[in-house]
Structure 1
């Protein structure tokens, strides 16, 4: 199969012919129809993820068609159109028994723990636990965008922050996950302040319904008459984490969505404000496959439009440059030609 590989961290990303995977007994191999280009792929390429072993194929946001099925798989067959969350749960640990697959202690992640979806084929574990059937009307490019950024934003806004109509929500960083969070929060009836240094990203946030778009988060308390009820660090940087917490009103909720790899520095979390204002500091890590029906239902009803965030469709040969340039262009880039 053709796949995008790197042999050194931060080194060349090149398309090569490599052996295609075989399915594990409980897993499947999916022929990839689309694979999103995500900031997490950039982190893997830079060596920020300890699970990555070289040489490596990145890619964890995917949609496609089941091509091969392991002997122990019961729910899926060849030809099924599927997507999958980026956390592949084991289905057997205590967290999985509680339905919290996104924090499975035995999880695997395509594009991190093993070769990912920037390839013609990708192996996925525990298929009966992790695969999500695609509705007929949902195209592969849109479905791929759900696997990390949109589903992660949906869970962060709806299930973790529990945003209520009329609340002020600040979104720090308007990349793919941030713009997804803007759209989800607006659909939930919230009033959104989008924060980014890119004018193009802020224009897209405004198009998605953000009431205010700002480059300087210090103005948020004034714009919201006292601070945001909910604030999300959708970028994952020391400065955006701290800014997100500082912009909250008393009893506000901070949700950390963006990765904070230690190699990029530890945030100075203002715990004095956490105590004085009784703030909640929450983490959000993906979304379990069994919770996808609520998200897919809102998409089918037209209340959420993840397709509006897919701004570029690329060939596999263009994916390396896109990973290297993550964050320069607003919206979500998806590889759809392999």
Structure 2
């Protein structure tokens, strides 16, 4: 089968013929119909996350935002049959640890991130296997296009999990999203669906325009002001600051701007992951955190038990991940798309749907 194969940090992925996977007893093999191309793929390709032990090995197949059809079922798998339409959260749990048992499989003690380690090869391939399928795999609604499910992927799902389950968002709250890439635009769309007043912040007007399409009440080009946090606060009542600030990029500037745009008792939601030179460390004014009783929380993927919430909102027309998909490409184009993400000008979510 064809796959996009990693052979070294910042070396272009190679489209190669590789051995197709077969299903172990607990696994299914999925025939890939679509897979989102994520900035996390770029981070791993750049070698940004070696401080976390995420070190891509030669021969790895990336791709962690898949949708597809079950092609093979392991002997011990009970919930799935060949032909089922499925998606897979990239955080593959083992189903047995305390976090998996309590509904937090996205932080499993023995987590295997799909498409980031060789034991869990990803979906930039014609087929890919999934461990502990009965626990990890999610049946997708028959009426939903695979490209839309791929758009749901890790970015939309992580934003949804963060805003619904990790912070205390209520209708009428002010939410500022700093960085309007795929996950930032997803956060704008979800926050709007939840009844928040949403502010989108970026430096590219095309992304700001897209945020308005997805429900942003206000937008701000950070290049047009000297003090981004103060400019964000001006949108809120009495300039008190926002209730929730999202850093959807992970660089010091957006992280600090997000935190400093909060009002008292506000919550900072960190979704963006840092780049190599930061090594996971960004300075935050801790005295302000104490004095104003602010909070910092993170959101990493989504556990499989929360997908039904997304599907119900999609069914009712409250959210539409497909609106954030802006480009579809072939497998042969995936290497160039990943490399181009270093330019920061990708608008929305690109999806590979030709294998």
**TM-score where L is the length of structure 2:** 0.93
The answer for the alignment partner of 2:31 in structure 1 is 31
Q: 1:303 aligns with which of 288, 308, 318?
A: 318
Query: Partners of 1:72 and 1:108 in 2: how far apart?
Result: 20
Deviating above 6 A after TM superposition, structure 1's stretches of 4 or more consecutive aligned residues are: none
Query: Partners of 2:181 and 2:20 in 1: how far apart?
Result: 32
The CA deviation string for residues 187-211 of structure 1, in whole angstroms up to 9 with x for no partner, is 1110011011111111100111111
The CA deviation string for residues 46-95 of structure 1, in whole angstroms up to 9 with x for no partner, is 11233322222111000000111112111111111000111011100011
The answer for the alignment partner of 1:222 in structure 2 is 234
SS at match of 2:129: strand
SS at match of 1:181: helix
Contact 2:12 2:339 in 1 (8 A): no
The answer for the alignment partner of 2:134 in structure 1 is 128
Structure 2: 5+ residue runs without aligned partners? Answer: 223-227
Q: 2:348 aligns with which of 326, 331, 335?
A: 331
Q: 1:138 aligns with which of 144, 147, 154?
A: 144
Write the mapping of 1:196-235 to structure 2, written as runs, cut at 5 A: 196-216=202-222, 217-218=228-229, 219-224=231-236, 225-235=239-249
Aligned-pair CA distance for 1:273: 0.9
Write the mapping of 1:183-202 to structure 2, written as runs, cut at 5 A: 183-202=189-208
The answer for the alignment partner of 2:16 in structure 1 is 16
Aligned-pair CA distance for 1:258: 1.0
Query: Partners of 2:13 and 2:147 in 1: how far apart?
Result: 22
Query: Partners of 1:261 and 1:70 in 2: how far apart?
Result: 38
Query: Partners of 2:306 and 2:235 in 1: how far apart?
Result: 34
Aligned-pair CA distance for 1:105: 1.0
The answer for the alignment partner of 2:225 in structure 1 is none
Contact 2:47 2:276 in 1 (8 A): no
Aligned-pair CA distance for 1:262: 5.1
Contact 1:110 1:123 in 2 (8 A): no
**1:237 and 2:225 correspond:** no
Q: How many residues align?
A: 338
Aligned-pair CA distance for 1:280: 0.7
Contact 2:7 2:57 in 1 (8 A): no
SS at match of 1:328: coil
The answer for the alignment partner of 2:106 in structure 1 is 102
SS at match of 1:213: strand
Structure 1: 5+ residue runs without aligned partners? Answer: none
SS at match of 2:234: helix
SS at match of 1:325: helix
**1:77 and 2:94 correspond:** no
**1:285 and 2:289 correspond:** no
SS at match of 2:68: strand
Aligned-pair CA distance for 1:269: 1.2
Aligned-pair CA distance for 1:263: 3.7
Q: 1:213 to 1:46 in 2, by over 3 A?
A: same
Contact 2:166 2:299 in 1 (8 A): yes
SS at match of 2:346: coil
**TM-score where L is the length of structure 1:** 0.97
**1:93 and 2:105 correspond:** no
Aligned-pair CA distance for 1:242: 1.4
Query: Partners of 2:180 and 2:335 in 1: how far apart?
Result: 22
**1:54 and 2:58 correspond:** yes
Aligned-pair CA distance for 1:97: 1.2
